[in-house]
Amino acid sequence: MKSPRSLISAVRLLTLSIPALPAFALAEEFPPAPAPADGVAFEVVANGLHDPRGLAFGPGNELYVAEAGTTVGVLVPPPPPAPNEPPTRTRCEVYWPVGPKTPGFDARITRIARDGTAHAVADNLPSAAANRLIGGDRLGVAALAFRGQRLYAMVNGGGCSQGHPSEPNGLYEVFADGSFAPRVDLGAVLRSTTDSKPPTDGDFEPDGVWFNLIRAFGGFYATEPNHGLLMRIDDDATVTRVADLLAAVREQDGDGDYTYSALVRHRDHFYVATLGRIDLDFVGAIYRVARDGSSVERVAGGLHGVLGLAFDRSGRMYALETTASGVAPPLSDPTAGRLVRVEQDGSLTPLLTGLAFPTSLVAGRDGAFYLSNCGYHCDDPGTGASLEAGQVLRVTIDGAQAEAAD
């Protein structure tokens, strides 16, 4: 995907030469209520969120929500040409038009109590926004995971390439009093290793855009979509590469720029998904990865922009498509997101349609599925929505009990 991997933001690189974007008929209120299939029900359990991303259940079965924040990107015109000089990149540079990034400190974490009330857990975490020319996509807190009673956050709005030389991208510990501290500088890890992502690529992110975080097999696991890596983070801060996903998938599906956008553990394997190749048809796939990274096997295809994966207790897989239109945002209908079940024969059964740029899916301990809705671009001109349009939905499916990771 020719993008900075701030979700779909690089998708907008393809629209720079397009004089006008299509107009869609939007509901008076945005996001509109999605449409459930027969046997499916949903309820909104949280409102007023700032670009909600990853979800995690913590002590007391309360839901924690990662939010990217409200930083607004600056409109940066193209730099003057430098004829006869090859492009060079500093350690902190993100090429125009993705960069330069606008830094902020408004990412946050919110706890949703069992009675539905929202409580601030931590605020003022590092955030950033891309060049407004390509949509100003936000980065901040991307994902959450617990180690026992201790909360950890994956921050992708930090690092010098996001305008934060003193606040790294990586794993942060969040304390009961709302304070936080970086535990592993994952940007430094990327800069000290080599992988299949050439630093000359126009969308190369020196600090990475870490998007997922799960606790499994006695450690943390995370994907870095821009470089195409699955990494393990041990409790002593040791970081180990599990798989070079970009290289493995290119061997199976051909050369291209793939973005690894979802991660879940099911039994003894990991499952990862790709958004789809934006330079082709925005059709992605799901891959099963051995625990030690020794194999990466394609298990499903024909999906669009998958940002979440989950399983039920019968072993059936569910995928959250941020847009099912087959066209990358912003050319896609902003209410084309959907939750689908991936059947054994590879077919897709739509369960909940009409979602607005959803970003995360998690299985609850109560047997329901939870998803973040309106996770990015919901404050774009034309939607009529505000920076606080983000939601969390609880979804129940007849005959299916979500399989929680723990």
pLDDT of residue 380: 67
With bands split at pLDDT 50, 70 and 90, how would you rate the model's confidence at 241? Answer: very high
* Terminal C-alpha separation, the chain: 32
pLDDT of residue 22: 47
Q: Closest Cα to residue 127, out of 152, 159, 153, 96?
A: 159
Structure tokens at 212: 């997922």
Residue 2 pLDDT greater than 60, yes or no? no
Mean pLDDT over residues 254-276, rounded? 84
Taking CB atoms within 8 Å and a gap of at least 24, the contacts of 188-197 are: 189/231, 189/239, 190/224, 190/227, 191/91, 193/241, 195/227, 195/228, 195/229, 195/241, 195/244, 195/246, 195/247, 196/227, 196/228, 196/244, 196/246, 196/247, 196/250, 197/226, 197/227, 197/228, 197/246
**Residue 265: pLDDT over 90:** yes
| pLDDT at residue 223, as a whole number | 93
Please tell me the predicted confidence (pLDDT) of residue 329. Answer: 63
pLDDT, position 386: 74
The pLDDT of residue 382 is 55
Q: Which of 228, 210, 318 is nearest to 264 (CA)?
A: 318
Phi then psi for 319, rounded to 5 degrees?
A: -130, 140
Band of residue 328 on the pLDDT scale cut at 50, 70, 90: low
Residue 100 is classified by DSSP as S
Select the more confidently predicted residue: 177 or 4: 177
As a whole-number percent, the residues of the chain with pLDDT over 70 amount to 82
Q: Determine the pLDDT at residue 84.
A: 57
Q: How many CB atoms lie within 10 A of CB 86?
A: 6
| 5, pLDDT greater than 50 | no
Q: What is the mean pLDDT of the chain?
A: 85
What per-residue confidence (pLDDT) applies to 208? 87
- In angstroms, the CA 291 to CA 354 distance is 35
- Say which residue, 9 or 249, is predicted with more confidence: 249
Rounded Cα distance, 157 and 397, in Å: 35
| pLDDT(150) > 50 | yes
Domains of the chain: 9-14+53-79+87-330 (2.120.10.30)
Q: 261 pLDDT exceeds 60? A: yes
Give pLDDT tens digits for 289-327.
999 999 999 999 989 889 999 999 999 999 999 888 776
DSSP H or E run through 22: none
Is the pLDDT confidence value at 74 over 60? yes
Rg (the chain; Cα; Å): 19
Question: Cα separation of 152 and 147, whole Å?
Answer: 8
The rounded distance, in Å, linking the Cα atoms of 392 and 47 is: 7
165-213 residue pLDDT tens? 999 999 999 999 999 999 999 999 988 877 666 666 767 788 888 999 9
pLDDT at 212: 94
Calculate the alpha carbon distances from 373 to 25, 147, 172, 307, 345 in Å.
Answer: 19, 26, 24, 11, 28
Q: Kindly indicate the confidence band of residue 257, based on its pLDDT and cuts at 50, 70 and 90.
A: low
Interval 78-137: pLDDT, tens: 777 665 555 555 567 787 888 788 999 999 999 999 888 999 999 999 999 988 777 778
What is the band of 4 on the pLDDT scale with cuts at 50, 70, 90? very low
Q: Which pLDDT does position 81 carry in this prediction?
A: 66
In the block, residue with structure tokens 């920076």: 387
Question: Is pLDDT at 13 greater than 60 in this prediction?
Answer: no
CA 202 to CA 10: how far, in whole Å?
A: 10
